[in-house]
A and B are shown apart, each in its own frame.
Chain A
Amino acid sequence: MIRLGNVSRHFRRGPDVVKALDRVTLTIADGRFVALMGPSGSGKSTLLNLLSGIDRADEGDVEVAGQRLNGLSEDELAAWRSHHVGLIFQFYNLLPVLTALENVELPLLLAELTADERRRRARTALDVVGLMHERFAQLPGTLSGGEQQRVAIARAIVTDPDLIVADEPTGDLDAKSADAVLALLSELNREFHKAIVLVTHDPRALRWVDEVHHLDKGCLLEGDEAVRATESLEQALGTARVGR
C-alpha cells in the first residue's frame, strides 16, 4: 500500500519558490498498475521520486509498504530503496562498462548473497523479461533500445521489490518496442503482483494500467477534471490507432 497524505514539495529557483507538488493526497493499493500522467512540469516525476524514496517531502506524509519515509535519513532511505523499490528510467541508464547480466547483478551487490546466487538471480530476471541468452554477455551499447529497456526492467525486478517505479519507460522507444515494454510491465504486475507506478506521456499506457492519476501544476486532478483528462487521452489513443 502506498499512502501520500497532504504531500508538498517546493523548490527554490533563484528568488522564486516553485511548488512542484502542492498538498497531494493519494492511495495506491498493493499490486496495482498505476499511471501518473500530466503535462511537463506538472509534478509527475517529483511525485515518483517521493514515493520511491529518492526525494523527501517538505510537508505531509509518505508511507510505502508499511514504512513511513519522512523521518528516514539519506542512508536509511538508500538502504530501504535497495530492498523495496525497483527503478526504471527513460534512457535505461545502464552502466556502459558492464554487460547486460552484470548490470542486472549490480543492485544485488547490496544484498547479502553469494556471487553464484547473484548470477543465478540475474539470469532468472533476464529470462523473465525475455532477453535472448546470447545478449547476456553483451555491453549495453551493442543492444537495441528495446533490449536495453528489458535489461533495465530486469535490474528493477531482480531484488524482488514491493514497488516498481518507471519514469517515462517508453519515452525513448519506437511504437513497437514501447508496446512490448508496456506489455511486459503489465505481465510483471499480473504474474508477480508487484505495484507499478508509471510516469508517462504515452496514451498507449491507458490500455495496460489499472488506474490513471492526472497531475497539473503540482496538484492531483479529481472529479470531472480527472475524467475529462482521461477522455482526452482516450481520444488521442483512438486517433493514434486510426493513424496506424
Chain B
Amino acid sequence: MGLKSYVKKNSYYDSVVLMQVTKELKKSGEIDEVIVGMGTELNKELAGNLGLLTDELKEITANDFFVALDGKDTVDMDEVLVAIKELLNKKKTSEDEDYRPATVKSALKVMPEANLALFSIPGEYAFDEVKKALNEGLHVMLFSDNVSMEDEKTLKDLAKEKGLLMMGPDCGTAIINHTPLAFANVIKPGNIGIVGASGTGTQEVSVLIDKFGGGTSQVIGTGGRDLKEEIGGTMMLMGIDALEADEKTEVIVLISKPPHISVAKRILERVKKCKKPVVVDFIGGDQEMIRSYGAYPCISLEDTAHKAVALGKRETPGDFTGFSMEERAIDDMVENEVKQYSSSQKYLRGLYTGGTLADEAIMFLSESVGGIYSNKPKSPELKLEDVFKSKEHTVVDLGEDEFTIGKPHPMIDPSNRAERMSQEGKDDEVAVVLMDMVLGYGSHEDPAGEMLESIREAKEAMAAGGGHLTVVASVCGTEGDPQDLEETESKLKDAGVILLPSNAQAVKFAVKIMNRMS
C-alpha cells in the first residue's frame, strides 16, 4: 500500500479515542507504522520522524484529525479508511445523547451550580481556558502538563485572590467530597485529609490508609511544582488552611518531593501553627527539620499511611520500616529465588508507571544497593544514555515525557511496559524485575491482564537460558476500585509474580535479594 494519509477537517478527538484507534489499526498486523492524531505541530513533527509526513498533512491545523500510515502492499487503503471511519463513528454513537456545550461559559448555562472544572486539554491551550474558569468562580483541577512555571504562578495567584482551588498543572490525583478525579482510587470516608504534590505518591498513601482501616476526608492535589521556589507552595498552604477548618478532618497529611528550602520552611511554619496533627512526607527530605516544627516525619509512603491512621485513632505513631509478614518467611522466599539464578544473573530492573513510586524505589535502592541508572537518576552520572535500554541496576519511570511523546501514559496504556518486560527477560544478567500496578479511576481497566503475556514470556526466556526471573510487584488499589483488586492479585500470583502489600515492601524485598547475592 505504501504511504497514505487521511484528513478529516475540523474534527476534534481526545487522546484516549486516538489511542484506541491506533491500537485497533496496529492489531491487524498489516500496518508497519501509523500515527493517528490532531494536526498539532508536534504531531506533524512526529509524523515526519516516522517518515509519514505527506504533502496533505503539511497544511493541516490542530483542529483537523489525521491518520498517516505505511503498510504492506496487500493492504487496501480504502478498506482501512472505512475501518477508521467505523471506529470513530462507533465512538460517537456509543456516547449518550447529552447536550455538549462548546465552552465552560455555555456549560455553566447547562449546570449553573457547577463548582469545579476538570481540564485535560493540551497544555499549550490550558492557560486561557483555566483563567476563564477561575474568573467564573470555579475551582479548578488541571490535569494537563506542558504549562509554563510563569503561567502556573499567574493562575495560582488568581485562584488565591479568589479563594479557589487551583490543583495543577500536572495534577493527576484528587478526591473531593469522596469523588475520585482523574487518577484516583475509591477510598473509604474517614478523618484524614491529604494535600499531595505527587500523584502516585498520593494514590499509594490513600490506598494504604484504606487498607489499614482508615479513610480520607478530602484529597487535594497541588501539581508537582507547587513547592518549587517560583510557586512557593501556594496551593499546599491553601490546602492546609481548608483542612484545618474542615470539621471532618482530624489529621492532615502532606506529600511532596523535597521542596525548595525556603518553601519547606514556609510550609512547616504554617504546620507549626496548625491545631491538628500533621504528618509530612517530603519523600527523602530532612526528617529532623520536619520534627523540629512539631510535625511527624516519615520514612516511606507506607509509613506515612501508618502514622496518619494511628493519629486518626488517637494512638501514638511509631516508625514502620519492616514487612507485614514475618521476616523469616520473607527470608525463606528470598532464599528460594536466589537459589534458582544462573551465575550471570545479578541486576535489578524497575519498570514503573507511577512517578513517585519510581522515586521511592530509586531512593531506597540507592541507599542499600548502590548506583541506580534511570531516566531520572539521583545524580547526573547515573542518567541512562538510552532510556529504552537498561544498564546494570536500572529503574525507569515509564510515565516520563521521553516515553509518552505521541503515546498515552503507561497507566492508561501499559503496552510500553509489556514490551520492556519482554526485553528485560532476554537479558541474562537480570535477576529481578520490580514493578508497580496502579488501579483506580483513570487507569487501564485491567493493567495486570495487559502484562501477563510479557511476564510469562520473560520468565520462559530466562528459564530457557538456565536461569530464573523474579518479578516483584505491589498493587496500588482498593476493593472499591473499578478494577477487581482480588482478580488483579490472583492473575499476577498465577503468573509467578511475588506480591508485597506496598511499594516500600516490594522494594525492600528486592533489596534483600540483591544483598543476599552480593
Asked if chains A and B come from one complex, the reply is: no
